Amino acid sequence: MSPVAALPVSGDPGAVWRVGYRPDPWRWTPWLFATDEGRFNGRWDDERAKFRTLYTGESLLGCFLELLAHLQPDEVAWAELDAIDDDDAAAPDFVQPERGAVDLSWLEDRCYASGHQVGTYAEVTQAESLTFLKRMGVFDRLGIPPRDVDVSLLKDPRRRTVTRTIARYLFELQDEDRQPLVDGVAFRSRLGDDIRLWAVFERSESDASELISPAGEPETIADDHPVLMRAFAMLGLHWAEHR
């Protein structure tokens, strides 16, 4: 069975959103920010650090949720802190972090934009995709037995080596004409299957992906933007008190 027949793909996402940095949120992130041994730490970035990946979302809410998810308060850690006995009354001498607080510096130079996206994307979380990747030995290389392969593996933020290795494999796939089989990855957020996202692979020397046409100018993110506030509420976040 050929890869074209076995790997589910989708095309032309259409209208998409992105939260990035000024002056142009659609530009590839400079390599100087690849701080993980020269690699970016996004879920579908390249494990070998040879190409960059741009992330887009079907909704602005999805983009905010993905970016802010790691700032959610760790309730287990807070419970452990609350259980500590302050026998020497030293607690007031230390600055206590605010649970779920986000510093306003998070907004610095950030902006959001919408655009139109085309291309062909591997639907990695479909059952046939998992079967295809197992058949091609991708998980074997990582020492993961078939019985341990499921969609949760691709959504686990602690397993970035797995998804970045898959990204590299998909990047190298070619069709019968020796052309790239896919332009990136279509995936669902670990925060909810209704949040549809894409990872676009860098395949040219251009400053931005040729698969995305911006729709208008980037917009500044106000600290009370209603979509941002909805994301805060869903994740248990708030602006730090020094506001």
Q: Is residue 35 part of a domain?
A: yes
Q: Which domain holds residue 170?
A: 3-71+98-239
The Cα 157–Cα 159 span in angstroms is 5
Confidence check: pLDDT of 84 > 60: no
Q: Is residue 93 part of a domain?
A: no
Provide the CATH number for the domain around residue 181. Answer: 3.90.175
Q: Is residue 63 part of a domain?
A: yes
Q: What mean pLDDT, rounded, does the chain reach?
A: 90
pLDDT attached to residue 179: 95
Q: Is residue 14 part of a domain?
A: yes
Predicted confidence band at 74 (pLDDT cuts at 50, 70, 90)?
A: confident
Confidence check: pLDDT of 77 > 70: no
pTM to 2 decimal places: 0.88
Total domains present in the chain: 1
Q: Is residue 91 part of a domain?
A: no
Residues contacting residue 141 through CB under 8 Å, at least 6 positions apart? 165
Q: Is residue 118 part of a domain?
A: yes
Q: Is residue 82 part of a domain?
A: no
Contact (CB, 8 A) for 125 and 234: no
Per-residue pLDDT reduced to its tens digit, 158-189: 999 999 999 999 999 999 999 999 999 999 99
Per-residue pLDDT reduced to its tens digit, 31-55: 999 999 999 989 999 999 999 999 9
Angle at 113 between CA 111 and CA 117, to 5 degrees: 145
pLDDT attached to residue 76: 46
Q: Is residue 79 part of a domain?
A: no
Q: In this structure, what token pair is assigned to residue 183?
A: 């332009």
Calculate mean pLDDT across residues 88-105: 71
pLDDT attached to residue 90: 53
Contact (CB, 8 A) for 152 and 158: no
Calculate mean pLDDT across residues 23-28: 97
Residues contacting residue 175 through CB under 8 Å, at least 6 positions apart? 3, 4, 181
pLDDT attached to residue 1: 43
